[in-house]
Amino acid sequence: MQSSFTLFRVRGIAIGANWTWLPVALFFVFELASEFHTTDPGLKPSTYVTMGVITVVLFFGSLILHELGHAFRAIREGMEIDGITLWLFGGVAKFKGMFPSAGAEFRIAIAGPIVTAVISGALYALTFVLHAAGIHHGPVVAVTAYLASINLILLGFNMIPALPLDGGRVYRSYLWHRKKNFTDATVQAARTSRALSAALIGLGVILFFRGYSSALWPAFIGLFLFQAAKSELAFAQFRQALGTFHLRDVMTPEPESFDIDTSVAIFLDKVMHARGHSAYPVTQFGRFVGLVQTRRAADVPVVDRLSRRLRDLMIPRTELLTASPDDDVTETVTKMSDPAARIIVLDGETLVGIVTPSDISRALQHGRLLPPDAPPGPDGPPAAPTRRSLPFGLWLIIGAFVLVGAGYAIHPPVVVLAPGTSYNVSKDITISGVKTTPLHGGFFLTSVSVSQPNVFGFLAAEFSHRQVAPLSAVLPSGVDQNKYFRDQLAEFSQSQQFAAAAAAKAAGMNVGITGTGAQITQITSGAPAAKTLKKDDVVLAIDGKPVHVADDLGSVIRARPSGTTFDLLVERDKKQVHENVTSGSGVAGLKTPAIGVLLTTRDLSVQLPFKIRFKKEDIGGPSAGTAYALAIYDMIAPTDLANGRQIAATGTIDLEGNVGPIGGIAEKAQAVKSAGATWFVVPSSEASGVKTSGLHLVGVTTLQQAIEKLRG
């Protein structure tokens, strides 16, 4: 459980809270205010609310003291603490590494309950003193009495012998001491935890159907304990199986990475339909420099995605976990307390692999971590898996009904990717104001279906080996779903306009493109422009010649030899200033003279030589741009480009007719074949991802190249 924010620190230990803690805290404030109104009538309403606030603050303070008891004892045992987090079910101290011995685990586990027992005893003593002084009612005695009882209840609950509660850890430490094997002890403790979990779930369900709505809490706690015990068991077996293996044995070698100057638009379009990772390495000149999160990239407004670069969003290398391929897995994996953590594996300065929790889990499942002739782990040979039926058969049956209902109602935070719609886009297009020719054949767009399944749909997708990705890879947490899909629809509409402009240019027609200046979206480090220009500057003129669109600036610079000094009129912070910039050669790897800036046209407007209307489609994203461009070209040019063929296409398109990668190529190839298309035009960089046979594959980088290859 990770902290969403940090509250304060105690002796260097960060005390934080997960967002789940906030609604619980607010709920208890008003719940306690209502309870105090019943037990101590006659006070002002504001007094009850104040009593509720004070009680909640002191109660969570006692939880923090409980966890600090664990933390301070762990430090004395030589362990490291990764902080304390308040969350939905209370508090949790996060340890780095494993308990060094059974005795150490016992001492650490019992330290928290001892603190809680002292707090409860002190509060009962204070309540007794107040009663002895004749104070039987009022805010102070009501608060102390409640805190004394709730801490006693907390103590009793924590001593239930179920992992990962304190009682479960005490019980495991005893088994560990007796069996001399950590994994065997965890297996037995986990069985006990599962039995108690089933009892709690069954009890909660029965009481709920008898009219006690609050009785669902035991059921939720039972589910939590069941999953937590399962995790404890999995990690114990994992620790034993690791043995003396190194990171190179478990890492994903040569992970997909992106250049630091890749635009956010291309990044999102490529990864949305790819493997669905939540983060990707970023490199510069072959060196690993950071990690970019898909969620953070998706938070960038659509209008800025073409101009923003990954360098603006990435987490720098200095803030990430790095290791050598020869580092020990057992020692390194303890650093991955965050479920979303990544360990970047570097050989010197070269990125050679990446390790995630799923990598290690996958390696365990495939038996790659412990070959038949490998030595046993630190706790002896792995415990043989055994099956025992859970006690309380009635609870198990009731729990099964609950789980089935939950399976239909709960939608995990994942999406299933599958071949989507593929249809003839020429039926969507109506052109007037220019002579058109009949289209013999068709041009098909391709798409990927993205759906969020319930639990059973998720399991079905896993068993059928369909591609499953985290929901955050498509819709990051905190992003309004309706806004996100509106943005996707807007990108689709924009790609249609870009396709019309690119097709008109390819057909030799004049296309009016106007704007109010060339806006700088990125400056290459060390480039000539870095000395005088700034990001978001808008160039209005070069050597006195007005600059309306981005190419007005670029064409002048490219037409002069390297070393030419230009006078730029720049709008900066609503003021106009003159800046001198000298062009150079080899800037950002370009062969032509350049000053090292990425540009976009401010207030871009496209004027076509004809009128065009598109049928509204419920499809998002820019991947249909190339398909529309080919269809429009076939309609306005005298050449019969389709020539009776069914041609599918995917890829972004810009105003100059450049075709860009989009991702999801494997699923799209299946959709293309199902739709009956026999030709498939794809970005050259993605052609290797098409494995479906029976398609004439055409890899291209520009619209003009696609036209020439289709003409044959």
pLDDT tens-digit series, residues 424-476: 888 889 999 999 988 888 898 887 666 667 666 766 766 666 667 666 555 54
Give the type of residue at 113: P
pLDDT of residue 392: 39
pLDDT of residue 377: 43
Catalytic residue among 31, 35, 67, 105: 67
CA separation for the pair 421, 615 (Å, rounded): 15
Does residue 330 surpass a pLDDT of 70? no
Instruction: Specify the higher pLDDT residue, 476 or 503.
Output: 503
Give the pLDDT of residue 547: 92
* Confidence check: pLDDT of 197 > 80: no
Question: 682 is written with which tokens?
Answer: 């794809």
Report the mean per-residue pLDDT for the chain: 78
Q: What CA dihedral angle connects 47, 50, 54 and 55, to 10 degrees?
A: 60
pLDDT for residue 628: 92
Q: What percent of the chain has pLDDT over 90?
A: 15
pLDDT digits (tens, 9 = 90+) for 277-291: 778 898 988 888 888
Per-residue confidence (pLDDT) for residue 399, from 0 to 100:
47
Q: Is 588's pLDDT higher than 50?
A: yes
Cis peptide before 164 (omega within 30 of 0): yes
Which of residues 52 and 37 earns the better pLDDT score?
Answer: 52
15: β partners: 8, 84
Predicted local confidence at residue 495, as pLDDT = 83
Q: DSSP label at 440?
A: -
Comparing 649 with 40, the larger pLDDT belongs to 649
Mean pLDDT within 305-310: 91
The pLDDT assigned to 465 comes to 62
**Sequence-ordered list of residues with C-beta below 8 angstroms from that of 522, at least 6 positions apart, any chain:** 261, 307, 308, 309, 311, 312, 535, 597, 598
Find the mean pLDDT for residues 470-488.
Answer: 57
Predicted pLDDT at 369: 46
Whether residue 477 is predicted with pLDDT greater than 50 in this model: the reply is no
**pTM of the shown model:** 0.42
Check whether 209 has a pLDDT greater than 90.
no
Q: Hey, what domains does the chain have and what are their CATH numbers?
A: 5-240 (no CATH), 247-365 (3.10.580.10), 414-452+491-509+608-711 (3.30.230.10), 512-606 (2.30.42.10)
pLDDT in tens, 77-133: 888 777 787 765 567 777 776 778 888 889 988 988 899 899 999 998 998 888 888
Mean pLDDT of 523-534: 88
Confidence of residue 351 (pLDDT cuts 50, 70, 90): confident
* Mean pLDDT confidence for 391-412: 48
CA dist., res. 27 & res. 470, Å (int): 30
Question: What digits encode the pLDDT tens for the residues 44-68?
Answer: 888 888 888 898 889 888 888 888 8
Among 228-237, 293-302, 305-314, the least confident range: 228-237
Q: Are 85 and 70 in contact (CB under 8 A)?
A: no
Residue 302 or 212, more confident: 302
User: What is the spatial distance between Cα 297 and Cα 289, in angstroms, rounded to a whole number?
Assistant: 17
| Nearest CA-CA partner of 190 in 203, 171, 177, 204 | 171
User: What's the rounded mean pLDDT across residues 323-327?
Assistant: 84
Which of 123-127, 448-452, 573-577, 653-657 has the least mean pLDDT?
A: 448-452
Q: Is the pLDDT of residue 381 over 50?
A: no
pLDDT value of residue 38: 65
Q: How confident is the model at residue 375 (pLDDT cuts 50, 70, 90)?
A: very low
Give residue 712's pLDDT: 72
Question: What is the structure's pLDDT at 654?
Answer: 81
331 flagged as catalytic: no
- CA 331 to CA 50: how far, in whole Å? 48
How confident is the model at residue 237, as a pLDDT? 66
Amino acid 243: pLDDT: 58
Structure confidence at residue 455 (pLDDT): 60
| Largest separation between any pair of C-alpha atoms in the chain | 103
In this prediction, residue 555 carries a pLDDT of: 80
